[in-house]
Amino acid sequence: MAQLKLNKASLSLEQKNLKNYQRYLPSLELKRKKLLSEQSNCGEQLMQLKAQEQALRQSAEEHFPMINESIKLLKSLIKVEQVSIEEENIVGVRLPVFKNLKLRIEPYPYLNTPHWFDSLIQHIKELTEFRIRMKLACLRAQRLAKAIQTVTQRKNLFEKVLIPNALKHIRLIQIFLADNERAGVVRSKIAKKKRQLL
């Protein structure tokens, strides 16, 4: 660390730095709170998506008991063509947002497939969308956790290191300058008395 200069210029610089640190600290705290609230919303959304996906799976198993026999055919018929994802900016953190899913369904023989096949394809579309939404929600949660960690580290740096150090430096410089001023006054009085004695 650089040697602390004990003069009025460095006192002014330290006071300016302290003022800036104290000005930035509340904005970091607000950013942290906003990210925490967004993280809790993301957690709730993830739980809802998991519950909805589970309900959809159970519904598919109840309505389509012969699904295991058709799974290979379904995998070959349904292809993800495009997933539209946008990003939103929440206090400087870019988070993915699901917009649209485009699936391509290959033509299949209607006469050779069971009557419930079309309904099953619709269920699989919905299930695929839920899975993509869940992956994006997990990605959002990861990005939010990383951003919260970074903001918390910065907040702690300001709160526990930079501000206390600036206060300590200001106090040391003020003590040094006050001591020098007193020493100057004492020297001038001694010099004055010496002149009077001569």
Domains of the chain by range and CATH?
A: 8-193 (1.10.287.3240)
162 pLDDT more than 90: yes
The answer to whether residue 166 scores a pLDDT higher than 70 is: yes
d(C-alpha 95, C-alpha 92), whole Å? 9
* Helix/strand/coil for 12: helix
Kindly state the average pLDDT of the residues 149-158.
Answer: 97
Q: Please classify residue 53 by burial: count the beta carbons closer than 10 Å to its beta carbon, then call 0-12 exposed, 13-18 middle and 19+ buried.
A: middle
Q: Which residues contact 101 (CB under 8 A, 6 or more apart)?
A: 80, 82, 83, 84, 125, 128, 129, 132
> Higher pLDDT residue, 80 or 155?
155
Q: Which amino acid is at 49?
A: L
Residue range 11-16: average pLDDT? 95
CA-angle at 102, arms to 62 and 141, nearest 5°: 80
How confident is the model at residue 123, as a pLDDT? 83
- In this prediction, residue 161 carries a pLDDT of 96
* Spatial separation of the C-alpha atoms in residues 178 and 158, rounded to whole Å: 28
Measure the N-to-C terminal CA separation of the chain; round to a whole number of Å: 50
Question: In angstroms, rounded to a whole number, what is the distance separating the alpha carbons of residues 161 and 180?
Answer: 28
3-state secondary structure at position 14: helix
CA atoms within 13 Å, Cβ hemisphere of 134 = 14
* Average confidence (pLDDT) over 44-50: 93
